[in-house]
Amino acid sequence: MNGKNNIAIGFLTMGFFMAYGFLLIYLRDFAPDKEAWANSYSIGKHFEARLAHVHGNLFAFLNILIGYLLLRFQAQLPSVRSISWLALTGLLMPIGILSEVYFGLPPALVLIGAIAMTSSVVWLGFAFLRIKNA
């Protein structure tokens, strides 16, 4: 894996979380209990759902960017495959938030995803620092 899957999965994930945003708009503006939803803006499921939406799109964008950079600089960067897999694993964070909201699961996926995405970004940063200027 050299970054192509990060780009493809990043766009698909972004599309999913953009569509999820429409559900959040429905819950805020059109659902029968929209006042209760709006009043819980900073607590509970409403807050967690917004976190999933925002982090899902952010992590999707990061995968698109990381994938592009891995493709563009794969000959100069070490550990392209590992960085790619870590970035993809990072998508477990927003999926984990959704699994907490809708299924009451513990936050294990959130922590795994957050650590994986952070690791991929830091690892890629150090890899770029090691590239020699031509």
Residue 134 within any structural domain of the chain: no
Distance of alpha carbon 51 from alpha carbon 55, whole angstroms: 6
Residue 107 within any structural domain of the chain: yes
Per-residue pLDDT tens listing for the chain (134 residues): 789 999 999 999 999 999 999 999 998 899 898 888 888 878 888 889 999 999 999 999 999 999 999 999 999 999 999 999 999 999 999 999 999 999 999 999 999 999 999 999 999 999 999 998 75
How many domains are there within the chain? Answer: 1
Residue 74 within any structural domain of the chain: yes
Residue 76 within any structural domain of the chain: yes
Residue 105 within any structural domain of the chain: yes
Distance of alpha carbon 114 from alpha carbon 120, whole angstroms: 10
Residue 70 within any structural domain of the chain: yes
Residue 41 within any structural domain of the chain: yes
Distance of alpha carbon 79 from alpha carbon 94, whole angstroms: 25
pLDDT of the residue at 89: 98
CA dihedral 95, 100, 103, 104 (to 10 degrees): 160
Residue 79 within any structural domain of the chain: yes
Domain that holds residue 104: 4-129
pLDDT of the residue at 35: 87
